[in-house]
Amino acid sequence: MRSKTDEKRNAIIAAATAVFEEVGYQRASMAMIAARLGGSKATLYGYFHSKEQLFATAVTSAFDETGEELLASLASTDDIATVLAHYGRLYLDLVTQPEILAIQRTVLSEGQGTTLGQEVYELGPQRGLNGLMEFLEKRAAAGEIDLPSPEIGALHFKGLVEAGITEPRLYGITETRDKREAVETAVAAFMRIYGRSQT
């Protein structure tokens, strides 16, 4: 029974993805997606409570594997600077993909007055932030870093890594800082601020 449920959910996501790609988020409707699926709108609403949630699921599901790899990198037992450097490289590779940038632009341009931004954020960026917060909390408890809070630490590291790269890319500027250099300086700055000196 579970597999049939999963199959139906995946079929809905596939149909929605095709419709969103063809007509865009704004013009797409649950009726169009149901017609593509060969079912009813009631079937769609049995799995997704809104078009916003369905769009968010459709656009983020394609990157589930990459996202899982990103979060899995935080399970390493290497020293914190090494883990953050590896995580930072994977993170920048993910968020600078053209598909991810296109999703952000869609949310920014078409999500006003809807829950679209919240739905996408919770399924994508928030999951990554939560994973980083948990990692930093464990490393702080182990005495490797000293943080005001795991959330502040995660937000600061994310901001340091993205600086001079993600915002220009969002505007279509491809000539940005070198990603490797960006990660190295981000880790160095983070450890200078929050690292505990080993004596």
Q: Does residue 199 lie in a domain region?
A: no
Q: What is d(CA 136, CA 139) in angstroms, rounded to the nearest whole number?
A: 5
Q: Does residue 58 lie in a domain region?
A: no
Residue 75's pLDDT is 96
Residue 1's pLDDT is 45
Cβ count within 10 A of residue 29: 13
Residue 199's pLDDT is 43
Q: What is d(CA 149, CA 139) in angstroms, rounded to the nearest whole number?
A: 12
Chain-centre distance of CA 49, in angstroms? 21
Are both 141 and 69 inside the same structural domain? yes
- pTM value > 0.85: no
Q: Tell whether the torsion through CA atoms of 64, 69, 75 and 80 is positive or negative.
A: negative
Task: Find the domain containing 30 and state its range.
Answer: 2-51
Are both 114 and 39 inside the same structural domain? no
The CATH number of residue 96's host domain is 1.10.357.10
Are both 9 and 72 inside the same structural domain? no
Are both 31 and 74 inside the same structural domain? no
Place of tokens 């901001």: 159
- The amino acid occupying position 39 is G
What's the CA dihedral at 12, 15, 16, 21 to 10 degrees?
Answer: 160
Q: What is d(CA 107, CA 119) in angstroms, rounded to the nearest whole number?
A: 10
Are both 112 and 45 inside the same structural domain? no
Are both 36 and 128 inside the same structural domain? no
Residue 174's pLDDT is 87
Mark which of 51, 73, 88 sits at the end of a domain: 51
Domains identified in the chain, total number? 2
Are both 32 and 75 inside the same structural domain? no
Are both 92 and 35 inside the same structural domain? no
Are both 104 and 184 inside the same structural domain? yes
The CATH number of residue 13's host domain is 1.10.10.60
Helix, strand, or coil (residue 28): coil
Q: What is d(CA 167, CA 171) in angstroms, rounded to the nearest whole number?
A: 7
Q: Does residue 56 lie in a domain region?
A: no
Q: What is d(CA 151, CA 161) in angstroms, rounded to the nearest whole number?
A: 15
Residue 2's pLDDT is 53
Residue 197's pLDDT is 67
Give the pLDDT of the chain (199 residues) as one tens digit per residue: 456 788 898 899 999 888 988 888 888 999 999 999 998 899 999 999 999 999 888 888 867 778 889 999 999 999 999 999 999 999 999 999 888 888 888 888 887 788 888 888 888 899 999 999 999 999 999 999 999 999 999 999 999 999 999 999 999 998 899 999 999 999 999 999 999 865 4
Residue 65's pLDDT is 77
Are both 121 and 146 inside the same structural domain? yes
Are both 86 and 143 inside the same structural domain? yes
Are both 11 and 100 inside the same structural domain? no
